[in-house]
Amino acid sequence: MLEPTPEEARPAQSSGPVRDLRRSIASLPSSKIREVAHLGMGRDDVIPLWFGESDLPTPKFICDAAARALAAGDTFYQPNPGIAELRTALADYMNRLYGTTLTLHNVIVSASGMNALMLVMQSLIDPGDVVVTTTPAWPNLPAVPRILTGAIREVPLSPANAGWRLDLDRLLDACDARTRVIFLNSPNNPTGWMMAAEQQKAVLEFARARGIWIVSDEVYARIVYDRKVAPSFLEQALPDDRVIVVNSFSKTWSMTGWRLGWITAPAGLGPTFEMLTEYNIAGPAGFVQRAGVVAVQQGEPCVHETVERYRAARDLMVERIANIPRMRLPTPEAAFYGFIRVDGMVDSVAFAKELLSRTGVGLAPGAAFGNHSDDFVRLCFAASLPMLEQAFDRIEDFMRSA
Query: How does residue 91 score in pLDDT terms, banded at 50, 70 and 90?
Result: very high
Angle at the Cα of 20 from the Cα atoms of 14 and 25, rounded to 5 degrees: 105
pTM, to two decimals: 0.93
pLDDT tens figures, 33-49: 999 999 999 898 999 99
Query: How does residue 5 score in pLDDT terms, banded at 50, 70 and 90?
Result: very low
| Helices and strands of the chain, counted as H and E runs | 14, 13
Contact 55, 313 (CB under 8 A): no
Rg of the chain on CA atoms, in Å: 21
Q: What CATH number does the domain located at 31-58+302-401 have?
A: 3.90.1150.10
Query: How does residue 10 score in pLDDT terms, banded at 50, 70 and 90?
Result: very low
Contact 50, 33 (CB under 8 A): yes
Tell me the backbone φ, ψ of residue 108, rounded to 5 degrees.
-120, 125
Cα(193)–Cα(189) distance, integer angstroms:
8
Q: What is the pLDDT of residue 22?
A: 86
Looking at the predicted structure, is the pLDDT value of residue 9 above 50? no
Q: Select from 163, 161, 160 the least CA-distant residue to 195.
A: 163
pLDDT tens figures, 204-249: 999 999 999 999 999 999 999 999 999 999 999 999 999 999 999 9
Cα(367)–Cα(34) distance, integer angstroms:
12
Looking at the predicted structure, is the pLDDT value of residue 60 above 50? yes
Q: In the predicted model, what is the mean pLDDT of residues 278-291?
A: 97
Q: In the predicted model, what is the mean pLDDT of residues 63-80?
A: 98
Tell which CATH architecture fits domain 75-298: 3-Layer(aba) Sandwich (3.40)
Neighbouring C-beta atoms of residue 342, cutoff 10 Å:
23
Cα(231)–Cα(158) distance, integer angstroms:
20
Domain ranges of the chain: 31-58+302-401, 75-298
Mean residue pLDDT across the chain? 94
Which amino acid is residue 363, in one-letter code?
L
Q: What is the pLDDT of residue 18?
A: 60
pLDDT tens figures, 309-330: 999 999 999 999 999 999 999 9
Strand 364-365 with 376-380, pairing: antiparallel
Please, which residues have CB within 8 angstroms of residue 46's CB and are 6 or more apart in sequence?
Answer: 40, 356, 360, 361, 362
Q: In the predicted model, what is the mean pLDDT of residues 57-81?
A: 98
Q: Select from 288, 286, 316 the least CA-distant residue to 392.
A: 316
Query: How does residue 7 score in pLDDT terms, banded at 50, 70 and 90?
Result: very low
Element containing residue 393 per DSSP (H, E):
helix 385-401
Looking at the predicted structure, is the pLDDT value of residue 89 above 60? yes
Looking at the predicted structure, is the pLDDT value of residue 28 above 90? no
Q: What is the pLDDT of residue 19?
A: 66
